[in-house]
Structures are given as structure tokens and as C-alpha cells.
Amino acid sequence: MKRKEYWKWLIPTILVGFMLGCAAGLRVQDEATSFPGDRQWVEKTIRKMTLEEKIGQLVVARYTGEFFNFDSPYLKKLEELVRNYHLGGLILFGGEALETAYFTNHFQKLSKIPLLIASDLERGAGNQVTGATLFPPLMALGAADSEELAYEMGRITAIEGRALGIHMTYAPVVDVNINPDNPIINTRSVGEDPEQVARITRAFIRGCQSHGMMATAKHFPGHGDTDQDSHSLLPVIRADQERLRRVELYPFRVAIEAGVDSIMTAHLYIPALEPEEGLPATLSPRIMTDLLRKQMGFKGLIVTDALEMRGITGYFGDEEAALRALKAGVDLLLLPLDPVKVIEHLKRAVKSGELPLSRVEESLRRVLLAKTRLGLHRRRFVSLERLPLVLGKQEFKDIARKTFAAAITLVKNENDLLPIKKDKKVVLVSLSSDPGDYYAGRRLATELASRLPSTRVFYADGDTGREKLGEALSAAASVDLVVAALFSSLRSGKGTVDLEPVHVDFIRQLTAAGVRVIALSFGSPYFLRHFPDVGGYLCFYRNTPETQELAAMAITGEIKISGQLPVSLPGLFPRGHGLVLEKIEEVK
């Protein structure tokens, strides 16, 4: 070939390769459209791997995106896991933007095979990384009932996540929250209607995966009908197969049809699906292989929920759980207590014939194909210089704020308590059911005082501030109304998202005394069951500085309220209920 002809051939080839590489960073390809070269890379890689490398690719450990000196024992341990035990991926749990991207690149340099970096970005990349855009939980999307906003949430999550070096989000939650006392799903779910859950999460999946990030539907086969937390014990779902098919499984079927790349298991015992007493779904071949793979036709990655959770460790040893999960049909083992012991145990199981090598290679092939669809075999590093151009863009923040605002739900407004006029005398009581968060409503207090100058503020949590409740009760007698701001966050292992009994009693005392009360829920919408006699009730679904600012604007008529309950409040209001309150037009 002549030199001139060579360059005529090479330059277009380089350009095509560059474009394909860029596309891989922007769009997760379907397995059926993978390039032949991708599959060749997978097969060639598998042929060169040792047994330990093959098993290591199925194990995932945690890391935090914080600053670490290279002498840090924590960092050295992670480096050893990546370099010597050939982990398939890491899961980010919180951190700063630059540190996250820097150490993501650092671990990628140490790894022989590109790492699959994942994180729980249920509320956007800002859920884990400071500086990225933070969205409300999915129940707020249910209240707004907007597929457009769900798509945008998925899109922005993917763009920011990929800029940080994160390839996979453990979202969306497609559980149907039909149990008002659910302590761990609750506002993480879109709501109680399977069709709405499916619609909203499908839009999120489409936005996420069309912009280069793998989405994960969780927690299969459905964690919405329990009043127990699998972080602490093994919940039992006692629904029959017909109810499971109609409710719990429906959103997963829709997610699979939408091409979701990954599904996360649930540490639940479901007698209707698994006859072995006390066997979690995560470890059940009947659920993982027979139901999910064969009956529902899922071909993507199956990942466990964290194997360090008590829903597993309280009943099975670390090594046994990992082995049983793989034999059940799971592909990736997330967060075993001791990754090294698990890898060594699985090696022995393969050598003894207890775990077929073909079962390992089946999952390995899925993991490597996922990495090629993400383009990681061609480009695994991210640019730190791009972070200030991508993370927290004003466009992204505006969309997130629009989502927070669209979700605000006015459930009660007796005697037109809202909007509150500027001449009204108000007592604001901030009631925190979260230990260590005494001043939970500080931003709300500041925002409300700027609009209603005569506002008096009292704070209380479950341990301190009881004398303040007495003072607030006395002050309530001489004002026009009391605004009770209710804070109780959803946290793993907490066991409840409910309110402190003393706070419930306080509000009941107010209503019994004839005081006009407006309650603001910055968490579960189900709080109203405790004090149905309050005159006003609004739901914001999450405590953030933004929701507190929007709350002050909403109750003073500065913004329109139009959200609708995505769950029913038993005995009080049905799903879909929501009063519309128009914005007060300013007098010119």
C-alpha cells in the first residue's frame, strides 16, 4: 500500500474509532448491537484469565471518594484488593467530586481489567458526591406524576456520574410501596400503584441508559410490602403468586421490556416463590434463575443487595452466602464482609466441583460484556479538568428544583389556612426525629421569618428540647396558627421512618386545644395518620435546604402547589388526592 493511500485509509479509521469510543461513553449499547470486536475482546480476555481472576471479577467492594494519603492503611487495603485479587468493581459511598474522580482513575490504573464503578444514585449523583446535582426521592416523582422529569433525572444522573467515573447506578427503586409502615423503602418508591411505578421508573431508565450509565431496577422480586428492614433482619413477604404477579413483579417486567441493564436482588423470604424455609430471594435458584431468567426473560446483570446486611449475615456465613448466590444465578456479589475469604472459598468450590466453572464463566461473560458496552475496554479514565464544566450546571439545578417544586402536595387546607398572609402571627416548631439533628428546620425558620417577621421559632428532637415544647404550647395560645415542621429521615438500620411519640403528643395537644395547625412533612407522607385533625397538611417527601426554602414559598403563596398523593393515607385520603393552590399574584 502506498504511503498516501495508507493515510487515506488510516485517518477515517481513527475517526470512526474515536466516534465509537465517544458513543460508548454516552450510550449503553444493547448486547444484540455490540460490536464484533467487543465480543472478541471478551473471549480473548477470558482465555487469558486465571481462575482467581475470573472469580475476582464477580466480587465488588466499597470505597469512599475522600482524600487519602498514599500511606493510608485503608487505601493500601483497597489497592491490594484491586491489584492482587482482581475485583470486578467498586461501589462509591459518598465523597467529594475531585477526590472521587482522582481515585477512580487511580484504581483503574491498578486494575488489569477495567473496573465497573457503581454507586447508589437514587437521588442523582448528588446523593453521593458533593457538588453534583441532588434530586428528590422517587416518591416526589410520583407526586409530580411526570415521566419527563423522571427522564431528565436519569439523564442528568448519567451525565454527572460518568464525568466522575461512575458507570452504574443502583437505581431506580421499582418496589411498590403498599405498606405504610415500610421502614426502608417508603419515599424511595414512586408509590403504591404498580402502573405508575412502572411508568416513572421506565422513563428514568431510558434517560439514564441513553446517556451512558447502566441502570439497576431493585429490589427483586419486590420490597414494598414489609414493615421490616432487611439491613437488620430477614423480612417475610406473605403475598400469594397472583398478588406478586399483579403488584410486585409488574414494574420489573416493564423494566426488563425497557431494556434495563441490571437488576438487584432483595434479601427477603417469600414462601409463595421459595419453599425452603427462610431462604432469601438472593440465594434462591427458583427466584433468580427459574423466575427472573427463564420466565421473565432477563438477560442483563443480576447483582446482590449488599451481602453485609443482616438479612443475609444473620442467617448465613459470608462464604456460604456468596457461593449460594452464585449457584442461584447471581452475577455480581456486592459487599461481602471479607472479599478475600469469599474469593478463596469460591476457588476451592470450583476446584472441588461444587461450583461449576461454567457457572462462573457465564456470569463473567455478562460482566465483561457490560464493560464493553460501556466502552471501558477502550477508555477507562475520566478528565478531572471537565468536572467544573459538568457537575452542578445551572441547567441541571433548575431541573432538579422544578422537580422538587412539582412534587409539593397539599393534602388538607381547612378554612383556607393557606396561603398565610403577612400580617399573621405564627409559631414555627421544628420537630426532628433524627438523633443529632436538633436544628433540622433552621433553613425553614430563616426563610419563613423573612416573609413573616413576627414568627417565633422553637426546636426539639427526641432527646432534648422537651421544655421548648412546653414553651411552644404556651406561645401557641396567643398566635394565629402553628406551623409544625416534621423531620424523620429514612436510614438503613434505623428501623422506622416514623415520628417521636412526644412530637405526636405535642401536635395532638395543640389540636385538642383548638389551635390551628399546619403540619409540613419533610419525610413520609403517612405522618398525617397520627393527627388527622390538623387544619393543614403538606408533603415535601425529603428534607433538603431546597425543600425548606420551597416550603416557605409554598405556604405564603409564592409558588403554585399541584402535587398529588402517590400513596393512599389509610382511612383518610386516597392515592391521587391533592388540592391545587394557585400562586398569589403580586399587586403592582
Cell 401557641 maps to which residue?
476
Residues classed as catalytic: 231, 305
DSSP code string of 235-266: -B----HHHIIIIIHHHHHHHHHTT-SEEEE-
Grid coordinates belonging to 541:
417527601
Class of residue 230 by CB neighbours under 10 A (exposed 0-12, middle 13-18, buried 19+): buried
Measured distance CA(468)–CA(475) in Å, rounded:
10
Class of residue 286 by CB neighbours under 10 A (exposed 0-12, middle 13-18, buried 19+): middle
Measured distance CA(478)–CA(169) in Å, rounded:
51
Helix (H) or strand (E) holding 400: helix 394-407
Cα–Cα distances (Å) from 174 to 201, 205, 520, in that order, read 7, 11, 26
Cell 412539582 maps to which residue?
406
The identity of residue 562, as a single letter, is S
For residue 36, say if its preceding peptide bond is cis, omega within 30 degrees of 0. no
The secondary structure of 339-382, three-state, reads HHHHHHHHHHHHHHCCCCHHHHHHHHHHHHHHHHHCCCCCCCCC
Backbone angles phi and psi of 496, in degrees to 5:
-160, 155
Cβ-contact 455, 449 below 8 angstroms: yes
Helix (H) or strand (E) holding 224: none
Measured distance CA(563)–CA(539) in Å, rounded:
9
Angle at 88 between CA 86 and CA 94, to 5 degrees: 110
DSSP code string of 424-462: --EEEEEEE-STT-TTTTHHHHHHHHHHSTT-EEEEEES
